Amino acid sequence: MGTNASTAPRSAASRHLAALVISLVLVGAVSALGGISSAGAADKYGTLAQPSWAPPSYLFGPVWTVLYVLMAVAAWLVWRTDPRWSNPAIIVYGVQLALNLAWSPLFFGLGWRGLALVDILVLDIAVAVTIALFWKARRIAAILLLPYLGWILFATALNYSVWSLNS
């Protein structure tokens, strides 16, 4: 039985929508796991010596929510150009997600701020590589990740400052 011309576009649209939902769910899972592992983070964050330029703890949730949505949409756009798990851009994206996930339990859960600093430095590199690979696949996807890179570079400086002030 052949493909009906009227159902083929709907089928493709359904696959694209499913891929977007999966991308959002994956990033949501990373966010949720990071949140669970850093329960009480606001209280812990408030007890640490911080630089004068440190943002208030209530700012992190809204910023990360926006960044995670941008990340999910960017990954979905790249996935649409090459829907394979072996796609190098998707592999590096997965690596940076894992590094992102590791940071909260290291910094807040275990209090290993020095190791968290190493993690976020590697994350900085992984996100920069992800952006470069996304640029080759779909430029708008790379652009969507620029606020994320800016935020984690800021977070890297903050991590270093908090680590050095509390060591």
Domains of the chain: 19-47+54-165 (1.20.1260.100)
Q: Indicate the burial class of 2 (C-beta count within 10 angstroms; 0-12, 13-18, 19 or more).
A: exposed
d(CA 88, CA 90): 5
The set of residues, in sequence order, having a beta carbon less than 8 Å from that of 67 and lying 6+ positions away, is 147, 148, 151
How far is Cα 18 from Cα 153, in angstroms, rounded to an integer? 32
When the pLDDT of each residue in the chain is averaged and rounded to a whole number, the result is: 89
The predicted-structure confidence for 112-132, as pLDDT tens digits, reads as follows 999 999 999 999 999 999 999
Residue with tokens 């891929």: 19
Token pair of 76 as six digits: 């979905």
Global pTM reads: 0.85
The model's confidence at residue 41, banded by pLDDT at 50, 70 and 90, is low
Model confidence over 145-165: pLDDT tens digits?
Answer: 999 999 999 999 999 999 999
Phi-psi region of 111 (alpha: psi -120 to 50; beta: other; left: phi over 0): left
CA atoms within 13 A on the CB side of 96: 25
